A and B are shown apart, each in its own frame.
Chain A
Amino acid sequence: MVQFSTSRLDTSFAALSDATRRGVLEQLGSGDASITALADKFHMTLTGMKKHVGVLEQAGLVTTEKVGRVRTCKLGLSRLAEATAWLEDYRRLWAARFDALDQIVEDLKQRETVDGRKQQE
Protein backbone atom coordinates (compact mmCIF):
# COMPACT_ATOMS: atom_id res chain seq x y z
CA MET A 1 0.00 0.00 0.00
CA VAL A 2 1.42 3.33 -1.01
CA GLN A 3 1.91 5.80 1.80
CA PHE A 4 0.98 9.43 1.83
CA SER A 5 3.22 11.62 3.89
CA THR A 6 0.82 14.42 4.70
CA SER A 7 2.03 14.85 8.27
CA ARG A 8 5.62 15.11 7.17
CA LEU A 9 4.56 17.58 4.51
CA ASP A 10 2.90 19.73 7.18
CA THR A 11 6.04 19.65 9.32
CA SER A 12 8.06 20.49 6.23
CA PHE A 13 5.90 23.51 5.47
CA ALA A 14 6.23 24.70 9.05
CA ALA A 15 10.00 24.31 8.87
CA LEU A 16 10.02 26.38 5.69
CA SER A 17 8.11 29.30 7.13
CA ASP A 18 11.49 30.81 7.97
CA ALA A 19 13.62 32.58 5.35
CA THR A 20 16.94 31.47 6.90
CA ARG A 21 15.88 27.83 6.87
CA ARG A 22 14.84 28.13 3.23
CA GLY A 23 18.25 29.61 2.53
CA VAL A 24 19.98 26.75 4.35
CA LEU A 25 18.12 24.21 2.20
CA GLU A 26 19.09 26.06 -0.94
CA GLN A 27 22.69 26.12 0.25
CA LEU A 28 22.68 22.39 1.03
CA GLY A 29 21.21 21.80 -2.41
CA SER A 30 24.57 22.76 -3.86
CA GLY A 31 26.55 20.62 -1.42
CA ASP A 32 26.87 19.34 2.15
CA ALA A 33 28.05 21.86 4.71
CA SER A 34 29.07 21.98 8.36
CA ILE A 35 26.97 23.90 10.87
CA THR A 36 29.92 26.26 11.37
CA ALA A 37 30.08 27.00 7.64
CA LEU A 38 26.33 27.58 7.53
CA ALA A 39 26.49 29.89 10.53
CA ASP A 40 29.23 31.93 8.81
CA LYS A 41 27.35 32.00 5.54
CA PHE A 42 24.18 33.32 7.17
CA HIS A 43 26.00 35.60 9.65
CA MET A 44 24.55 33.78 12.63
CA THR A 45 25.83 32.37 15.89
CA LEU A 46 26.57 28.67 16.03
CA THR A 47 23.74 28.23 18.56
CA GLY A 48 21.27 30.03 16.30
CA MET A 49 22.20 27.89 13.31
CA LYS A 50 22.02 24.72 15.39
CA LYS A 51 18.41 25.58 16.24
CA HIS A 52 17.49 26.12 12.58
CA VAL A 53 19.17 22.90 11.51
CA GLY A 54 17.36 21.12 14.35
CA VAL A 55 13.99 22.25 12.99
CA LEU A 56 14.93 21.13 9.48
CA GLU A 57 16.14 17.80 10.85
CA GLN A 58 12.86 17.29 12.75
CA ALA A 59 10.96 17.92 9.53
CA GLY A 60 13.05 15.27 7.80
CA LEU A 61 14.45 17.79 5.33
CA VAL A 62 18.04 17.58 6.57
CA THR A 63 20.25 14.87 8.07
CA THR A 64 23.27 15.64 10.20
CA GLU A 65 26.24 13.48 10.93
CA LYS A 66 29.02 14.19 13.37
CA VAL A 67 32.48 13.23 12.29
CA GLY A 68 35.10 14.15 14.86
CA ARG A 69 34.25 17.67 15.99
CA VAL A 70 32.44 18.66 12.83
CA ARG A 71 28.70 18.19 12.33
CA THR A 72 27.91 17.97 8.63
CA CYS A 73 24.47 18.68 7.23
CA LYS A 74 23.00 17.29 4.06
CA LEU A 75 19.60 17.24 2.39
CA GLY A 76 17.22 14.38 3.03
CA LEU A 77 16.52 11.66 5.53
CA SER A 78 18.86 8.92 6.66
CA ARG A 79 17.80 5.41 5.64
CA LEU A 80 16.84 4.52 9.18
CA ALA A 81 14.84 7.72 9.57
CA GLU A 82 13.13 7.02 6.26
CA ALA A 83 12.11 3.53 7.32
CA THR A 84 10.87 4.82 10.66
CA ALA A 85 8.92 7.61 9.00
CA TRP A 86 7.42 5.17 6.49
CA LEU A 87 6.27 2.82 9.25
CA GLU A 88 4.74 5.71 11.16
CA ASP A 89 2.90 6.94 8.06
CA TYR A 90 1.69 3.39 7.48
CA ARG A 91 0.49 3.17 11.09
CA ARG A 92 -1.29 6.51 10.82
CA LEU A 93 -3.08 5.37 7.67
CA TRP A 94 -4.35 2.25 9.41
CA ALA A 95 -5.25 4.18 12.56
CA ALA A 96 -7.34 6.58 10.45
CA ARG A 97 -8.99 3.63 8.72
CA PHE A 98 -9.84 1.90 11.97
CA ASP A 99 -11.19 5.11 13.48
CA ALA A 100 -13.58 5.35 10.50
CA LEU A 101 -14.34 1.63 10.78
CA ASP A 102 -15.33 2.11 14.45
CA GLN A 103 -18.15 4.37 13.30
CA ILE A 104 -19.42 1.85 10.74
CA VAL A 105 -19.42 -0.93 13.34
CA GLU A 106 -21.20 1.35 15.80
CA ASP A 107 -23.90 2.02 13.18
CA LEU A 108 -24.25 -1.72 12.51
CA LYS A 109 -24.67 -2.36 16.23
CA GLN A 110 -27.39 0.30 16.40
CA ARG A 111 -29.13 -1.27 13.41
CA GLU A 112 -29.10 -4.68 15.10
CA THR A 113 -30.55 -3.18 18.26
CA VAL A 114 -33.36 -1.51 16.28
CA ASP A 115 -34.01 -4.67 14.23
CA GLY A 116 -34.07 -6.71 17.43
CA ARG A 117 -36.70 -4.42 18.93
CA LYS A 118 -38.82 -4.61 15.78
CA GLN A 119 -38.76 -8.38 15.89
CA GLN A 120 -39.89 -8.37 19.49
CA GLU A 121 -42.83 -6.09 18.72
Chain B
Amino acid sequence: MDASSKSDPAAGKAATTVERTSERELVVTRTVNGPARLVFEAFATPELFQQWWTPASFGITLISYEADIRTGGFYRLEMGHPAMEQPMAFFGRYLEVTPTSRMVWTNDEAGEPGQITTVTFEEKDGVTLVVVHELYPSKEALDGAIASESTGAWPEQFDALDQLIATLDAGA
Protein backbone atom coordinates (compact mmCIF):
# COMPACT_ATOMS: atom_id res chain seq x y z
CA MET B 1 0.00 0.00 0.00
CA ASP B 2 1.46 3.35 -0.89
CA ALA B 3 0.81 6.51 1.07
CA SER B 4 -1.53 8.08 -1.51
CA SER B 5 -4.15 5.36 -1.06
CA LYS B 6 -4.95 6.64 2.41
CA SER B 7 -6.73 9.62 0.92
CA ASP B 8 -10.48 9.29 1.13
CA PRO B 9 -12.06 10.20 -2.21
CA ALA B 10 -15.23 11.25 -0.39
CA ALA B 11 -13.30 13.64 1.84
CA GLY B 12 -14.31 17.28 1.63
CA LYS B 13 -13.62 19.00 -1.66
CA ALA B 14 -11.53 22.13 -1.53
CA ALA B 15 -13.44 25.41 -1.65
CA THR B 16 -13.74 27.39 -4.85
CA THR B 17 -13.90 31.14 -4.29
CA VAL B 18 -14.93 33.88 -6.68
CA GLU B 19 -14.43 37.57 -6.17
CA ARG B 20 -14.97 40.62 -8.29
CA THR B 21 -11.70 42.27 -7.34
CA SER B 22 -12.21 45.46 -9.34
CA GLU B 23 -14.59 47.01 -11.85
CA ARG B 24 -12.95 44.95 -14.60
CA GLU B 25 -11.72 41.82 -12.86
CA LEU B 26 -12.96 38.49 -11.60
CA VAL B 27 -10.72 36.11 -9.68
CA VAL B 28 -11.41 32.43 -9.04
CA THR B 29 -9.20 30.43 -6.67
CA ARG B 30 -9.05 26.74 -5.89
CA THR B 31 -6.44 24.44 -4.36
CA VAL B 32 -5.92 21.16 -6.21
CA ASN B 33 -4.41 18.17 -4.46
CA GLY B 34 -1.46 17.49 -6.72
CA PRO B 35 1.78 18.99 -8.03
CA ALA B 36 1.66 21.92 -10.44
CA ARG B 37 3.08 19.86 -13.31
CA LEU B 38 0.03 17.54 -13.22
CA VAL B 39 -2.52 20.32 -12.78
CA PHE B 40 -0.91 22.16 -15.67
CA GLU B 41 -0.99 18.98 -17.73
CA ALA B 42 -4.75 18.71 -17.14
CA PHE B 43 -5.17 22.31 -18.39
CA ALA B 44 -2.76 22.12 -21.30
CA THR B 45 -3.51 18.68 -22.79
CA PRO B 46 -6.65 18.78 -24.98
CA GLU B 47 -7.56 15.13 -24.26
CA LEU B 48 -7.52 15.87 -20.52
CA PHE B 49 -8.93 19.41 -20.67
CA GLN B 50 -12.07 18.25 -22.43
CA GLN B 51 -12.76 15.76 -19.63
CA TRP B 52 -13.37 18.46 -17.02
CA TRP B 53 -14.01 21.85 -18.67
CA THR B 54 -17.71 21.18 -19.34
CA PRO B 55 -18.76 19.25 -16.23
CA ALA B 56 -21.74 16.97 -16.72
CA SER B 57 -22.80 17.84 -13.17
CA PHE B 58 -23.49 21.33 -14.48
CA GLY B 59 -25.72 20.06 -17.27
CA ILE B 60 -23.40 21.17 -20.05
CA THR B 61 -21.81 18.99 -22.70
CA LEU B 62 -18.89 19.46 -25.02
CA ILE B 63 -20.00 19.23 -28.63
CA SER B 64 -16.70 19.91 -30.36
CA TYR B 65 -13.26 20.97 -29.32
CA GLU B 66 -9.98 21.71 -31.02
CA ALA B 67 -6.98 23.43 -29.51
CA ASP B 68 -3.37 24.03 -30.29
CA ILE B 69 -2.20 24.71 -26.76
CA ARG B 70 1.02 26.68 -27.12
CA THR B 71 1.84 30.39 -27.17
CA GLY B 72 0.17 31.80 -30.28
CA GLY B 73 -2.06 28.75 -30.78
CA PHE B 74 -5.84 28.89 -31.26
CA TYR B 75 -8.73 27.08 -29.60
CA ARG B 76 -12.36 26.66 -30.40
CA LEU B 77 -15.00 24.77 -28.48
CA GLU B 78 -18.73 24.32 -28.65
CA MET B 79 -20.92 23.60 -25.64
CA GLY B 80 -24.50 22.50 -25.43
CA HIS B 81 -27.11 22.81 -22.71
CA PRO B 82 -30.66 21.37 -22.73
CA ALA B 83 -32.08 24.90 -22.32
CA MET B 84 -30.33 26.15 -25.45
CA GLU B 85 -31.46 25.48 -29.00
CA GLN B 86 -28.07 26.24 -30.51
CA PRO B 87 -24.66 25.17 -29.27
CA MET B 88 -22.53 28.05 -27.98
CA ALA B 89 -19.12 28.55 -29.53
CA PHE B 90 -16.10 29.88 -27.66
CA PHE B 91 -12.81 30.66 -29.31
CA GLY B 92 -9.62 32.62 -28.91
CA ARG B 93 -5.86 32.52 -28.87
CA TYR B 94 -3.24 31.54 -26.33
CA LEU B 95 -1.17 34.61 -25.56
CA GLU B 96 1.12 32.65 -23.28
CA VAL B 97 1.58 29.01 -22.34
CA THR B 98 4.40 28.58 -19.84
CA PRO B 99 4.76 25.08 -18.40
CA THR B 100 4.00 24.57 -15.54
CA SER B 101 3.16 27.96 -14.11
CA ARG B 102 1.00 30.10 -16.36
CA MET B 103 -1.50 30.19 -19.24
CA VAL B 104 -3.10 33.26 -20.80
CA TRP B 105 -5.83 33.17 -23.42
CA THR B 106 -8.23 35.53 -25.15
CA ASN B 107 -12.00 35.12 -25.41
CA ASP B 108 -13.01 36.39 -28.83
CA GLU B 109 -16.47 34.91 -29.39
CA ALA B 110 -18.26 38.19 -28.72
CA GLY B 111 -16.87 39.64 -31.96
CA GLU B 112 -15.06 42.41 -30.11
CA PRO B 113 -12.18 42.30 -27.63
CA GLY B 114 -13.37 40.13 -24.76
CA GLN B 115 -11.87 39.29 -21.41
CA ILE B 116 -8.33 37.99 -21.06
CA THR B 117 -8.09 34.85 -18.96
CA THR B 118 -4.87 34.26 -17.00
CA VAL B 119 -4.41 31.04 -15.05
CA THR B 120 -1.49 30.61 -12.68
CA PHE B 121 -0.37 27.45 -10.91
CA GLU B 122 1.52 27.80 -7.62
CA GLU B 123 2.73 24.62 -5.99
CA LYS B 124 3.37 24.41 -2.27
CA ASP B 125 3.86 21.24 -0.24
CA GLY B 126 2.56 19.03 -3.01
CA VAL B 127 -0.69 20.92 -3.59
CA THR B 128 -1.32 23.58 -6.20
CA LEU B 129 -3.13 26.87 -5.84
CA VAL B 130 -4.88 27.64 -9.14
CA VAL B 131 -5.82 31.28 -9.68
CA VAL B 132 -8.06 32.13 -12.65
CA HIS B 133 -8.02 35.83 -13.36
CA GLU B 134 -10.40 37.34 -15.91
CA LEU B 135 -9.69 40.89 -17.01
CA TYR B 136 -12.48 42.58 -18.97
CA PRO B 137 -11.68 45.44 -21.36
CA SER B 138 -13.86 47.84 -19.34
CA LYS B 139 -16.22 48.09 -16.39
CA GLU B 140 -19.07 48.28 -18.91
CA ALA B 141 -17.95 45.02 -20.50
CA LEU B 142 -18.07 43.12 -17.21
CA ASP B 143 -21.29 44.81 -16.08
CA GLY B 144 -22.72 44.04 -19.50
CA ALA B 145 -21.71 40.39 -19.30
CA ILE B 146 -23.40 40.08 -15.93
CA ALA B 147 -26.52 41.95 -16.99
CA SER B 148 -26.98 40.29 -20.37
CA GLU B 149 -26.30 36.82 -19.10
CA SER B 150 -28.58 37.22 -16.11
CA THR B 151 -31.45 39.10 -17.66
CA GLY B 152 -30.62 37.67 -21.07
CA ALA B 153 -31.18 34.22 -19.68
CA TRP B 154 -34.64 35.13 -18.50
CA PRO B 155 -36.53 34.86 -21.79
CA GLU B 156 -35.27 31.28 -22.12
CA GLN B 157 -36.04 30.53 -18.51
CA PHE B 158 -39.50 32.00 -18.83
CA ASP B 159 -40.06 29.95 -21.98
CA ALA B 160 -39.16 26.84 -20.01
CA LEU B 161 -41.41 27.96 -17.15
CA ASP B 162 -44.26 28.71 -19.56
CA GLN B 163 -44.02 25.18 -20.85
CA LEU B 164 -43.99 23.77 -17.34
CA ILE B 165 -47.00 25.86 -16.34
CA ALA B 166 -48.86 24.70 -19.44
CA THR B 167 -48.09 21.09 -18.55
CA LEU B 168 -49.15 21.54 -14.93
CA ASP B 169 -52.32 23.40 -15.90
CA ALA B 170 -53.23 20.75 -18.46
CA GLY B 171 -52.92 18.10 -15.76
CA ALA B 172 -54.99 20.05 -13.24
Contact = CB atoms under 8 A, between A and B. Distances in A.
A2 B57 CA distance: 16
A17 B146 CA distance: 28
Contacts of A92: 58
Contact of A6 (B28, B42, B59): B59
Interface stretch (B48-56, B65-73, B94-102): B48-56
Contacts of A8: 157
A87 B20 contact: yes
Do most interface residues of chain A lie in helix, strand or loop, or is the interface mixed? helix
A42 interface: no
A58 B9 CA distance: 33
A101 B58 contact: no
Contacts of A106: 9, 33-34
A104 interface: yes
Nearest to A5: B153
Interface of B: 2, 4, 9, 13-14, 16-18, 20, 26, 28, 30, 32-34, 38-39, 41-42, 48, 51-53, 55, 57-60, 81, 83, 88, 90, 107, 130, 132, 134, 146-147, 149-151, 153-154, 157, 160-161, 164-165, 168-169, 172
Given A104-B51, A105-B32, A4 B60 contact: yes
Nearest to B79: A2
B59 A4 contact: yes
Given A22-B168, A91-B18, A86 B59 contact: no
A118 B134 CA distance: 42
A101 B57 CA distance: 13
B168 A94 contact: no
Closest 3 CB pairs of A and B: A100-B52, A96-B55, A95-B16
Given A82-B146, A82-B147, 17 more contacts: A1-B134, A3-B150, A12-B161, A16-B165, A82-B150, A86-B146, A91-B28, A95-B13, A95-B30, A97-B55, A97-B58, A98-B130, A101-B39, A104-B52, A108-B38, A108-B41, A109-B38
